[in-house]
Protein backbone atom coordinates (compact mmCIF):
# COMPACT_ATOMS: atom_id res chain seq x y z
CA UNK A 1 0.00 0.00 0.00
CA UNK A 2 1.27 3.46 -0.95
CA UNK A 3 0.63 6.56 1.17
CA UNK A 4 0.53 10.09 -0.22
CA UNK A 5 1.16 11.57 3.22
CA UNK A 6 1.13 10.67 6.92
CA UNK A 7 -0.30 12.58 9.89
CA UNK A 8 1.56 12.21 13.20
CA UNK A 9 0.13 12.16 15.88
CA UNK A 10 -2.78 14.41 17.00
CA UNK A 11 -3.15 13.30 20.64
CA UNK A 12 -2.08 10.75 23.23
CA UNK A 13 -4.72 8.40 24.64
CA UNK A 14 -5.04 9.28 28.32
CA UNK A 15 -7.13 9.41 31.48
CA UNK A 16 -8.42 12.67 33.00
CA UNK A 17 -8.12 11.65 36.66
CA UNK A 18 -10.43 11.00 39.61
CA UNK A 19 -12.37 13.32 41.92
CA UNK A 20 -10.96 12.10 45.25
CA UNK A 21 -13.97 13.48 47.17
CA UNK A 22 -16.41 11.21 45.31
CA UNK A 23 -14.20 8.53 43.76
CA UNK A 24 -15.78 9.28 40.39
CA UNK A 25 -13.62 9.71 37.28
CA UNK A 26 -13.51 13.25 35.92
CA UNK A 27 -14.15 11.75 32.50
CA UNK A 28 -15.66 8.28 32.30
CA UNK A 29 -13.78 7.30 29.15
CA UNK A 30 -10.22 7.50 27.90
CA UNK A 31 -9.67 10.64 25.87
CA UNK A 32 -7.06 12.43 23.80
CA UNK A 33 -4.44 14.46 25.67
CA UNK A 34 -2.98 17.34 23.64
CA UNK A 35 -1.02 20.55 24.09
CA UNK A 36 2.66 21.33 24.83
CA UNK A 37 3.13 18.28 27.07
CA UNK A 38 2.86 15.85 24.15
CA UNK A 39 5.34 17.67 21.90
CA UNK A 40 8.36 15.49 22.86
CA UNK A 41 6.33 12.34 22.21
CA UNK A 42 5.09 13.53 18.82
CA UNK A 43 8.55 14.79 17.84
CA UNK A 44 10.00 11.38 18.55
CA UNK A 45 7.46 9.73 16.23
CA UNK A 46 7.88 12.36 13.50
CA UNK A 47 11.66 12.05 13.50
CA UNK A 48 11.59 8.24 13.51
CA UNK A 49 9.19 8.10 10.57
CA UNK A 50 11.06 10.84 8.68
CA UNK A 51 14.31 8.86 9.03
CA UNK A 52 12.60 5.75 7.64
CA UNK A 53 10.59 7.12 4.71
CA UNK A 54 10.31 9.96 2.21
CA UNK A 55 6.51 10.17 2.52
CA UNK A 56 5.44 13.74 3.43
CA UNK A 57 4.56 14.12 7.11
CA UNK A 58 2.00 16.46 8.65
CA UNK A 59 3.01 16.94 12.30
CA UNK A 60 0.36 17.51 14.97
CA UNK A 61 0.92 17.91 18.68
CA UNK A 62 2.08 20.58 21.09
CA UNK A 63 2.66 23.49 18.72
CA UNK A 64 2.46 26.62 20.87
CA UNK A 65 5.13 28.88 19.31
CA UNK A 66 6.62 29.59 15.90
CA UNK A 67 9.82 27.92 17.14
CA UNK A 68 7.84 24.68 17.53
CA UNK A 69 6.93 24.90 13.85
CA UNK A 70 10.60 25.25 12.90
CA UNK A 71 11.57 22.33 15.15
CA UNK A 72 9.03 20.07 13.49
CA UNK A 73 10.31 21.04 10.05
CA UNK A 74 13.89 20.39 11.10
CA UNK A 75 12.97 16.84 12.14
CA UNK A 76 11.30 16.14 8.82
CA UNK A 77 7.73 17.46 8.85
CA UNK A 78 6.38 18.92 5.62
CA UNK A 79 3.34 20.62 7.17
CA UNK A 80 2.36 21.42 10.76
CA UNK A 81 -1.14 21.50 12.22
CA UNK A 82 -2.21 23.68 15.15
CA UNK A 83 -5.31 23.15 17.28
CA UNK A 84 -4.95 23.50 21.08
CA UNK A 85 -3.17 26.85 20.82
CA UNK A 86 -6.04 28.19 18.70
CA UNK A 87 -8.49 27.07 21.39
CA UNK A 88 -6.42 28.94 23.99
CA UNK A 89 -5.52 32.09 22.05
CA UNK A 90 -8.09 32.38 19.25
CA UNK A 91 -7.64 32.56 15.49
CA UNK A 92 -5.31 35.57 15.73
CA UNK A 93 -2.65 33.09 16.87
CA UNK A 94 -2.29 31.96 13.25
CA UNK A 95 -1.24 35.47 12.20
CA UNK A 96 1.23 35.73 15.09
CA UNK A 97 2.90 32.47 14.08
CA UNK A 98 2.97 33.38 10.39
CA UNK A 99 4.44 36.82 11.10
CA UNK A 100 7.15 35.31 13.30
CA UNK A 101 7.92 32.64 10.69
CA UNK A 102 8.23 35.34 8.02
CA UNK A 103 10.70 37.25 10.21
CA UNK A 104 12.65 34.05 10.81
CA UNK A 105 12.89 33.37 7.06
CA UNK A 106 14.16 36.88 6.40
CA UNK A 107 16.64 36.73 9.27
CA UNK A 108 17.98 33.35 8.14
CA UNK A 109 17.82 34.34 4.44
CA UNK A 110 15.60 31.39 3.55
CA UNK A 111 13.72 31.23 0.26
CA UNK A 112 11.79 28.13 1.31
CA UNK A 113 11.28 25.99 4.39
CA UNK A 114 12.52 23.09 2.27
CA UNK A 115 15.99 24.47 2.99
CA UNK A 116 15.68 23.45 6.66
CA UNK A 117 13.37 20.44 6.42
CA UNK A 118 15.10 17.41 7.95
CA UNK A 119 18.15 19.45 8.98
CA UNK A 120 18.28 17.83 12.44
CA UNK A 121 17.74 14.23 11.30
CA UNK A 122 21.42 13.36 10.65
CA UNK A 123 22.17 14.23 14.29
CA UNK A 124 19.53 11.91 15.78
CA UNK A 125 20.45 8.32 16.64
CA UNK A 126 19.18 5.40 18.73
CA UNK A 127 20.27 5.48 22.36
CA UNK A 128 22.28 2.29 21.80
CA UNK A 129 24.47 4.10 19.24
CA UNK A 130 24.82 7.13 21.52
CA UNK A 131 26.09 4.86 24.30
CA UNK A 132 29.03 3.88 22.07
CA UNK A 133 30.19 7.48 21.72
CA UNK A 134 32.66 9.16 24.13
CA UNK A 135 31.11 10.20 27.43
CA UNK A 136 30.07 13.83 27.82
CA UNK A 137 30.62 15.83 30.99
CA UNK A 138 29.42 19.23 32.15
CA UNK A 139 31.66 22.24 31.79
CA UNK A 140 30.93 25.70 33.16
CA UNK A 141 31.73 28.98 31.39
CA UNK A 142 32.99 31.32 34.16
CA UNK A 143 32.19 34.36 32.02
CA UNK A 144 28.49 33.43 31.96
CA UNK A 145 27.89 31.69 35.30
CA UNK A 146 25.85 33.94 37.61
CA UNK A 147 27.18 32.15 40.70
CA UNK A 148 30.82 32.60 39.74
CA UNK A 149 30.31 36.21 38.67
CA UNK A 150 28.25 37.51 41.59
CA UNK A 151 26.98 34.57 43.64
CA UNK A 152 23.41 33.70 44.46
CA UNK A 153 22.20 31.27 41.81
CA UNK A 154 22.48 27.60 42.78
CA UNK A 155 19.90 26.04 40.45
CA UNK A 156 22.34 23.66 38.79
CA UNK A 157 23.46 22.24 42.13
CA UNK A 158 19.89 21.53 43.20
CA UNK A 159 19.31 19.58 39.98
CA UNK A 160 22.45 17.41 40.21
CA UNK A 161 21.81 13.95 41.68
CA UNK A 162 25.44 12.84 41.29
CA UNK A 163 27.19 15.26 43.64
CA UNK A 164 29.08 16.83 40.75
CA UNK A 165 28.14 20.40 41.68
CA UNK A 166 28.76 22.01 45.07
CA UNK A 167 28.99 25.57 46.39
CA UNK A 168 31.70 26.67 48.85
CA UNK A 169 30.46 29.43 48.55
CA UNK A 170 31.07 29.65 44.79
CA UNK A 171 30.33 26.87 42.30
CA UNK A 172 32.68 23.88 42.23
CA UNK A 173 32.23 21.37 39.40
CA UNK A 174 33.58 17.85 39.90
CA UNK A 175 33.74 16.53 36.36
CA UNK A 176 34.77 13.04 37.53
CA UNK A 177 31.38 12.69 39.27
CA UNK A 178 29.35 14.04 36.33
CA UNK A 179 27.03 11.51 34.64
CA UNK A 180 26.47 13.70 31.57
CA UNK A 181 22.68 13.75 32.05
CA UNK A 182 22.44 17.42 31.03
CA UNK A 183 19.84 18.43 33.62
CA UNK A 184 22.06 21.21 34.93
CA UNK A 185 22.17 22.66 31.42
CA UNK A 186 18.39 22.60 31.16
CA UNK A 187 17.90 24.57 34.38
CA UNK A 188 20.71 27.13 33.94
CA UNK A 189 19.11 30.53 33.11
CA UNK A 190 22.47 31.98 32.02
CA UNK A 191 23.29 29.16 29.57
CA UNK A 192 26.64 28.85 31.33
CA UNK A 193 26.85 25.06 31.22
CA UNK A 194 27.40 22.70 28.33
CA UNK A 195 28.33 19.07 27.74
CA UNK A 196 31.73 18.32 26.27
CA UNK A 197 33.60 15.04 25.68
CA UNK A 198 35.49 13.62 28.63
CA UNK A 199 39.17 14.55 28.54
Per-residue pLDDT tens over the stretch 70-93 = 999 999 999 999 999 999 999 999
CB under 8 A, 24+ apart: contacts of 149-155:
153/189, 153/190, 155/187, 155/188, 155/189
What is the CATH T-level fold of the domain 134-197, as seen in this structure? Alpha-Beta Plaits (3.30.70)
What pLDDT digit, counting tens, does each position of 108-135 carry?
Answer: 999 999 999 999 999 998 888 888 888 8
Return the CATH number of the domain spanning residue range 6-122: 3.20.20.70
33 upstream amide cis, omega within 30 of 0: no
Q: Alpha-carbon distance 41 to 34, whole Å?
A: 11
Mean pLDDT value across residues 185-192? 96
Residue 1 has pLDDT above 70, yes or no: no
8 contacts: CB under 8 Å, gap ≥ 6: 42, 45, 46, 49, 57, 58, 59, 60, 61
- Within a 10 A sphere around the Cβ of 126, how many other Cβ atoms? 8
Domain ranges of the chain: 6-122, 134-197
Amino acid sequence: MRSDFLTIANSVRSFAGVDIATGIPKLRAYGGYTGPAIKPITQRHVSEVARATNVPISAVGGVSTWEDVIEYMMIGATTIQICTSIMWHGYDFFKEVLDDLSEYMQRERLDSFEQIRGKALPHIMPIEELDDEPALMAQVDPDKCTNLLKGGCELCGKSCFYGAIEFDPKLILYRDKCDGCGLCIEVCPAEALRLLPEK
